Amino acid sequence: MGVTRGDAGMSDGTGNDAGRLSGAEGERLDPAVARRLKRDDRGLVAAVVQQYDSREVLMVGYMNDEALRRTLTTGRVTFWSRSRQEYWRKGDTSGHVQFVKAVSLDCDGDALLVEVDQIGAACHTGSRSCFDAGGPLPAVVGERDGLEVTAR
């Protein structure tokens, strides 16, 4: 499932939609979208955030239905904080805003790919990507060694 800003009906024509944290009271995530989600036992789905033009992976956050609805309808990424038990938008305090370009659901329905235009650092450490700050882990690098691999 891929949704772009225009597909999600994110503008009411006033030009003020990008700053609105939530829509009208009582709005719910589109039931057709909600049915496709496979949430964990806390009602959350992992959201991988990627810079839309370079494809750089920036961070991973978590969304419940309301956070996803806000993301799809405001043009700004909203997450659910597992530690603080509250909604948060990247950039509200730091100014490092994530503007939504597209949202896709994976084949199992248990993860989202959120393509964004990231302004500034994505990581709370000040790094562009949260994966810069964590660094690489020691891993054996696999090689094909001339083997022909055939897809099945």
Q: Which residues are annotated as a binding site for Zn(2+)?
A: 107, 123, 130
- Pick out the residues of the known binding site for Mg(2+): 106, 108, 110
- Report the half-sphere exposure of 127 (CA within 13 A, side-chain side): 13
- Pick out the residues of the known binding site: 106-108, 110, 123, 130
From the number of C-beta atoms within 10 Å of its C-beta (0-12, 13-18, 19+), residue 127 rates as: middle
**Phi and psi at residue 66, in whole multiples of 5°?**
-70, -40
SS3 125: coil
